Amino acid sequence: MDNNKKDIFALKKEYRKRGKQVRAQLSADERAEKSQAIERRLFQWEPFMMAENVSAFISFRDEVDTHHLIDLMRVMGKRVYVPIVDKENNELLLSLFHGYHELEESDFGVLEPRKDTWRIKELEEIDFILIPGLLFSKDGYRVGYGGGYYDRLLSKLSREVPRVGICFEEQVVDYVPTAEFDEALDAVVTDQNIYFVNENYK
């Protein structure tokens, strides 16, 4: 690893720590209220409302709560796809979501469906994707948890598919460190704003 990559790696580690601290400072009531505000913004946004096949992460710990959001999407008739970590191939797979009863805790502590081959869907079926993260910049980059799973997934996804980060307003910063493999988002939705990176989605 050259010195520049070492510097970026170390800087991202610091930003990761900062992002965790920011979220931890919010109370459970604040997170719940802000998560509902994010839902309202999404449901007032045409690109999201038009989407039929949405990839959404299943929240854990102090992330934006997506459980209620997923329920609402399914009530609306949207098909929801949730990620499964394929450690063997170091990638994320997307599985059609049928209900919380079928989820089990992964090695990372995240709830995910059992890895039944017939339920794994091709990326071509997705027409909108929601992305988690610890910090997001206003120009569409993010600091995740360090595994690079979402960047590898996005690198295979059509650029025609809206790629949207969701987070609390406190997690938005002017700058995050980036490396060559980092994928940019089209927008970041918070409880207070939608930060548009791709003007086509305004």
pTM assigned to the model: 0.93
> What is the Rg, in whole angstroms, of the alpha carbon atoms belonging to the chain?
16
**Model pLDDT for residues 12-55, shown as the tens digit of each residue:** 999 999 999 999 999 999 999 999 999 999 999 999 999 999 99
Domain boundaries, the chain: 3-201
Q: Give yes or no for a contact between 64 and 37, defined as CB atoms under 8 angstroms apart.
A: no
What is the DSSP-derived secondary structure letter of residue 166? E
Distance CA 190, CA 163 (A): 14
Q: pLDDT of the chain along its 202 residues, tens only? A: 455 777 888 999 999 999 999 999 999 999 999 999 999 999 999 999 999 999 999 999 999 999 999 999 999 999 999 999 888 899 999 999 988 888 888 777 788 887 665 567 789 999 999 999 999 999 999 999 999 999 999 999 999 999 999 999 999 999 999 999 999 999 999 999 999 999 999 8
* CATH fold of 3-201: Rossmann fold (3.40.50)
